């Protein structure tokens, strides 16, 4: 039976890398009915809302979306559509695995997962200016919202993920030494949840700045990291750096009622339209979707095909020092997926 999935190709390089992804999924034998919808700048350019009601309704009906990156204007303009979608569907868990896809980088065999709280912290967007005398922007203020409810649910998610995926350790990352109420509550709740898993999963907590340093010095000490919204955003780009860059980093946004799968990277306006973006992160995001749909074997076949193509080194996109186009890379992965299918 075909899966019904909303497809939001996205802005910039989005349409190119999602096209490549859909072709790879089809080659692997994944059956889907894609309901295509626009959002972001692609929508505003057509005079529509950046988050059109039809797009939201499609995701609400299907509870599943594969999404390309969406451009967010910096400083002014509409608020992030990515953040809005996560809030709309209460996609509280942002899962960002970082696994080495090719050898010869700074580190080999990296395999860690960031579980990021996706609905609150500073990204709740509770901020405003305070005017003074003739300066309307004399002061800017932002609220770091941390609730017991959301902290408990994300730390529990991290432990359950660790149990389900044979992981050994959860590291809770925080800044409770300075932000005693907000980060302190996150840590306090985290320690309580951790007690329930004692004897099953190892637990430690670490201050975020130290964690950032330790990730560079010895990333192998980490396994699953759970943290609040902004630290998770920053650390997930950092761990993407450990495995060779944003081109390899997928993300899943998971809630009780819906899930949206997307790459960690953005719409890459500097290379948009050139047809040379690396589609790996988008394809890996689709693999996370396959895991979610209990198609783990198919996901693993696609991942190992990507690794084979990258390791042979003949077909690589420019971000990896090659000269292949997005389509050529996808074709190479498809050839590998199909030959793998014969071997199975």
Residues at the site binding Mg ion, with contacts judged by CB under 5 A: 233
From the list ligand NAI, Mg ion, none, which binds 281 (C-beta under 5 to 8 Å, kind-based)?
Answer: ligand NAI
Distance CA 205, CA 210 (A): 11
In whole angstroms, how far apart are CA 86 and each of 65, 106, 312? 12, 33, 38
CB 250 within 8 A of CB 97: yes
Q: Closest separation between CB of residue 113 and ligand NAI, Å?
A: 18
Q: Does 262 bind ligand NAI (CB under 6 A)?
A: yes
Q: Closest separation between CB of residue 11 and ligand NAI, Å?
A: 7
CB 59 within 8 A of CB 49: no
Query: Of 7, 39, 70, 84, which lies in the binding site for ligand NAI, with binding defined by CB under 6 A?
Result: 70
Distance CA 73, CA 341 (A): 43
In whole angstroms, how far apart are CA 95 and each of 119, 179, 260? 13, 25, 11
Residue 175 designated active-site: yes
Q: 101 Cβ partners below 8 Å, 6+ apart? A: 243, 244, 248, 280, 284, 303, 306, 307, 310
Q: Does 267 bind ligand NAI (CB under 6 A)?
A: yes
In this chain, which residue has its C-beta nearest to ligand NAI? 266
Query: Of 115, 162, 194, 268, which lies in the binding site for ligand NAI, with binding defined by CB under 6 A?
Result: 268
Q: Does 265 bind ligand NAI (CB under 6 A)?
A: yes
Number of shown-chain residues binding ligand NAI (CB under 6 A): 21
The secondary element (H helix, E strand) that includes residue 5 is strand 3-8
Distance CA 243, CA 249 (A): 8
Of the two residues 228 and 233, which places its CB atom closer to Mg ion in the complex?
233
In the three-class reduction of DSSP (H, G, I as helix; E, B as strand; rest coil), residue 132 is classed as: strand
Of 109, 135, 168, 209, catalytic: 209
Q: Does 86 bind ligand NAI (CB under 6 A)?
A: no
Of 11, 35, 233, 319, catalytic: 233
Residue 233 designated active-site: yes
Of the two residues 219 and 251, which places its CB atom closer to ligand NAI in the complex?
251
Q: Which residues pair with 135 in a beta bridge?
A: 132
Q: Would you give the binding string for ligand NAI spanning residues 4-43, x where CB under 6 A is met?
A: ---------x---x--------------------------
Residues making contact with ligand NAI (CB under 6 A): 13, 17, 69-72, 82, 246-247, 262, 265-271, 277-278, 281, 319
Residues classed as catalytic? 123, 175, 209, 233
């Amino acid at each position: 039976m075909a899966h019904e999935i909303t497809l939001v190709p996205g802005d910039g390089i989005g349409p190119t890398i999602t096209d490549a992804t859909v072709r790879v999924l089809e080659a692997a034998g994944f059956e889907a009915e894609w309901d295509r919808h626009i959002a972001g700048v692609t929508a505003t350019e057509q005079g529509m809302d950046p988050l059109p009601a039809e797009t939201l309704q499609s995701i609400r009906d299907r509870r599943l979306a594969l999404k390309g990156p969406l451009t967010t204007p910096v400083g002014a303009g509409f608020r992030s559509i990515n953040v809005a979608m996560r809030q709309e569907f209460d996609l509280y868990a942002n899962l960002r695995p970082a696994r080495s896809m090719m050898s010869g980088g700074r580190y080999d065999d990296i395999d860690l997962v960031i579980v990021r709280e996706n609905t609150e912290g500073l990204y709740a967007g509770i901020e405003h200016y305070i005017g003074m005398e003739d300066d309307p922007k004399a002061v800017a203020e932002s609220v770091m919202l941390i609730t017991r409810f959301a902290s408990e649910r994300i730390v529990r998610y991290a432990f359950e993920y660790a149990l389900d995926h044979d992981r050994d350790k959860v590291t809770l990352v925080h800044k409770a030494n300075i932000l005693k109420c907000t980060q302190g509550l996150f840590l306090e709740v985290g320690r309580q949840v951790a007690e329930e898993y004692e004897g099953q999963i190892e637990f430690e907590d670490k201050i975020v700045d130290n964690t950032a340093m330790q990730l560079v010095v010895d990333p192998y000490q980490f396994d699953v990291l759970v943290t609040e919204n902004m630290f998770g955003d920053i650390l997930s780009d950092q761990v993407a750096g450990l495995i060779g860059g944003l081109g390899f980093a997928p993300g899943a946004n998971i809630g009780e009622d819906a899930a949206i799968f997307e790459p960690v990277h953005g719409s890459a306006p500097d290379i948009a339209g050139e047809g040379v973006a690396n589609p790996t992160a988008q394809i890996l995001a689709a693999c996370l979707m396959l895991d979610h749909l209990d198609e783990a074997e198919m996901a693993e076949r696609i991942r190992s095909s990507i690794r084979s193509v990258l390791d042979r080194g003949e077909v690589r996109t420019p971000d990896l020092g090659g000269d292949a186009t997005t389509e050529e890379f996808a074709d190479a992965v498809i050839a590998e997926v199909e030959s793998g299918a014969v071997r199975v």
